[in-house]
């Protein structure tokens, strides 16, 4: 470093080297100005997934000390996963969605690299379609669409049988969404249709507990894909793929380090062995003791909540494999405590210590939901105190009436949305009755209902774009001033934008309309 240059502040290194930091305030995230969160929601990617097992971290560190040839590593790990799970073969991918993407590429190309490097242009390919039951459409089927396939959605066994043809690459379904025995398009029913046609069946079991042997493979699925960062508590950036060896080997060919469309889904040697360690740990973990530990956390929180008059608690214990964790439901009459579950969840999310909880307001009862599986030692006591504190506070009744509207938004509006690097032109067609606004929102590619309120000059409007597998929330918050209003557009998981709207006025027409007395004499 040049003599006249100052030593930069090393936030992370300074944190790691600090020995006298207050344990209560110790967090590497605070070193860069980010406040950590107590996770009472479960294994959501947006807040970090799961806490990696000690065995995973140890394997990760040890793997980082040595280099290895990746094809040889994939062979060894595939064989070992087969031994552990009873599946024909195993593969570690860069997350569950990447695993689905690799499998789709494998089924489209059949392991032919000349086809692989042409993806997503499938011109001339024999296999170009993926069949999905309508109940299985979800935001994660983008992983399949990224390969360039055409999705064919079906709702009945008859529609599925008719849809299968020489272009069908695979059938994709999500575990737990209509796949149970006895359902019209259960896994077993789908296998009976697909197998005679030689069409592989792939099950997305991202959030499920791993079963050995795998229940989906036993029921006839060809491939099943899990998330590493959920129940398995493996690397958040890893996925576990089990099933037919030939398909999984073609999927490995389609994934990094090999060049092609999936090179961007790179999985490190550390994550590969960390995922393998997570599977081995899963087989020896004391799952009943873990469950009891979760119940103990919920009991401590529930006891604190029930000290507040009018508060009730119940523990839900789901029987399914997906998101398999007990949940504490804390409920109350919002008219008595003068606060809703949504307001409690928002308070917890924004104030220290930050706590992520679910809310479940419905039918005159306010509620929050607490999932304990990713809580850490000592956090149950923090959450219990916070729950008791907010619910026991004395509050004034919330205003029954809204502040009178100071502007009428009825009419047509031209709206400009300013995204990060582009703008988009929308239209609003609104009608207003007192404080309440409703109408139609024409966005760039769709149209949907919009509704909201006006209090004084404050405008709040909500609409949602919905299509199979996807939705985008639009929350407009702004100030009105005569024939304009502007403010912030909250886009849910897609962050925020700015918007401005101007009323559209139409010149009065003075041209009379003449109705012909018969057919035209010229066109």
Residue 508 binned pLDDT confidence (cut-offs 50, 70, 90): confident
Helix axes 245-253, 70-85, angle to 10 degrees: 150
* The CATH number of domain 54-284, selected from 3.40.640.10, 3.90.420.10, 3.50.50.60, 3.40.720.10: 3.40.640.10
Residue 88 · residue 267 · CB < 8 Å: no
- Tell me whether strands 312-316 and 129-133 are parallel, antiparallel or unpaired: unpaired
- Mean per-residue pLDDT of the chain: 94
Mean pLDDT of 24-47: 91
Surface-to-core class of residue 404, CB atoms within 10 Å of its CB (0-12 exposed, 13-18 middle, 19+ buried):
exposed
Tell me the pLDDT tens digit for each residue of 369-403. Answer: 999 999 999 999 999 999 999 999 999 988 778 99
pLDDT band at 308 (very low <50, low <70, confident <90, very high): very high
d(CA 450, CA 445): 15
Return the domain boundaries, the chain: 54-284, 287-392, 411-503
For 402-449, how does the pLDDT look when each residue is reduced to its tens digit (9 = 90+)?
A: 999 999 999 999 999 999 999 999 999 999 999 999 999 999 999 999
Q: What percent of the chain has pLDDT over 70?
A: 97
pLDDT band at 9 (very low <50, low <70, confident <90, very high): confident
23 pLDDT exceeds 80? no
Residues in the chain, overall count: 523
For the domain spanning 411-503, the CATH number is 2.40.128.120
436 Rama sector, left if φ>0, alpha if ψ -120 to 50, beta otherwise = beta
* DSSP one-letter string for 351-372: SSSEEE-EE--BTTBEEEEE--
CATH of domain 287-392: 3.90.1150.10
pLDDT in tens, 197-236: 999 999 999 999 999 999 999 999 999 999 999 999 999 9
pLDDT at 399: 78
Q: State if pTM tops 0.85.
A: yes
pLDDT recorded at residue 218? 97
pLDDT of 4 reads 62
Each residue's pLDDT tens digit, 460-476: 999 999 988 899 999 99
Predicted confidence band at 7 (pLDDT cuts at 50, 70, 90)? low
Dihedrals phi, psi of 251, to nearest 5 degrees: -70, -40
Distance from C-alpha of 428 to C-alpha of 415, rounded to nearest angstrom: 7
pLDDT reported for residue 329 = 97
- The pLDDT, as a whole number, for residue 449 is 98
Mean pLDDT, residues 327-341 taken together: 96
242's CB contacts (< 8 A; 6+ apart) are 81, 85, 87, 89, 90, 91, 214, 217, 223, 224, 225, 226, 248
Question: Nearest CA to 341 among 328, 325, 324, 326?
Answer: 328
Q: Cα separation of 77 and 98, whole Å?
A: 17
């Amino acid at each position: 470093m040049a003599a006249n240059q100052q030593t930069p502040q090393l936030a992370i290194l300074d944190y790691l080297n600090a020995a006298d930091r207050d344990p209560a305030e110790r967090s590497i995230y605070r070193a860069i100005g980010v406040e950590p969160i107590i996770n009472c929601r479960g294994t959501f990617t947006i807040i970090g997934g799961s806490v990696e097992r000690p065995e995973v971290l140890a394997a990760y560190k040890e793997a980082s000390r040595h280099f290895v040839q990746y094809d040889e590593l994939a062979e060894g790990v595939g064989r070992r996963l087969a031994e552990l799970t009873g599946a024909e073969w195993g593969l570690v991918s860069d997350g569950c969605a990447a695993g689905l993407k690799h499998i789709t590429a494998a089924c489209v190309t059949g392991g032919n690299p000349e086809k692989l490097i042409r993806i997503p242009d499938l011109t001339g390919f024999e296999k170009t379609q993926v069949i999905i039951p309508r109940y299985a459409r979800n935001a994660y089927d983008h992983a399949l669409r990224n390969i360039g396939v055409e999705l064919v959605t079906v709702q009945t066994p008859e529609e599925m049988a008719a849809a299968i043809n020489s272009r069908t690459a695979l059938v994709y379904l999500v575990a737990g969404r209509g796949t149970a025995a006895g359902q019209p398009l259960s896994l077993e029913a789908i296998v009976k249709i697909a197998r005679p046609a030689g069409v592989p069946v792939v099950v997305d079991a991202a959030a499920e507990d791993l079963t050995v042997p795998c229940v989906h493979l036993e029921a006839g699925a060809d491939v099943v894909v899990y998330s590493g960062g959920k129940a398995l508590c493996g690397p958040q950036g890893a996925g576990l793929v089990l099933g037919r060896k030939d398909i999984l080997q073609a999927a490995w060919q389609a994934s990094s380090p090999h060049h092609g469309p999936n090179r961007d889904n790179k999985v490190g040697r550390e994550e590969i062995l960390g995922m393998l360690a997570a599977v081995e740990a899963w087989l020896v973990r004391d799952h009943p003791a873990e469950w009891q530990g979760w119940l103990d956390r919920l009991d401590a929180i529930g006891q604190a909540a029930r000290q507040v008059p009018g508060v009730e608690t119940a523990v839900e214990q789901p029987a399914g494999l997906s998101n398999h964790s007990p949940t504490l439901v804390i409920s109350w009459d919002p008219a008595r405590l003068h606060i809703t579950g949504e307001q409690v969840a928002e308070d917890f999310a924004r104030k220290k210590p930050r706590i992520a909880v679910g809310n479940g307001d419905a039918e005159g009862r306010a509620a929050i939901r607490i999932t304990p599986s990713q809580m850490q030692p000592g956090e149950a006591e923090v959450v219990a105190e916070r729950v008791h504190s907010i619910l026991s506070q004395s509050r004034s009744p919330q205003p029954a009436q809204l502040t009178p509207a100071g502007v009428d938004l009825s009419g047509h509006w031209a709206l400009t949305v300013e995204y990060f690097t582009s703008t988009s032109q929308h239209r609003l067609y609104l009608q207003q009755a007192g404080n309440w606004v409703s109408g139609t929102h024409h966005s760039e590619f769709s149209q949907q209902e919009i509704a909201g309120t006006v209090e004084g000059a404050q405008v709040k409007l909500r609409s949602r774009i919905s299509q199979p597998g996807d939705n985008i929330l639009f929350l407009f918050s702004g100030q009105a001033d005569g024939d304009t209003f502007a403010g912030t557009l909250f886009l849910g998981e897609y962050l925020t934008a700015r918007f401005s709207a101007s009323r559209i006025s139409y010149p009065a027409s003075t041209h009379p309309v003449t109705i012909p007395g018969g057919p035209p004499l010229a066109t």
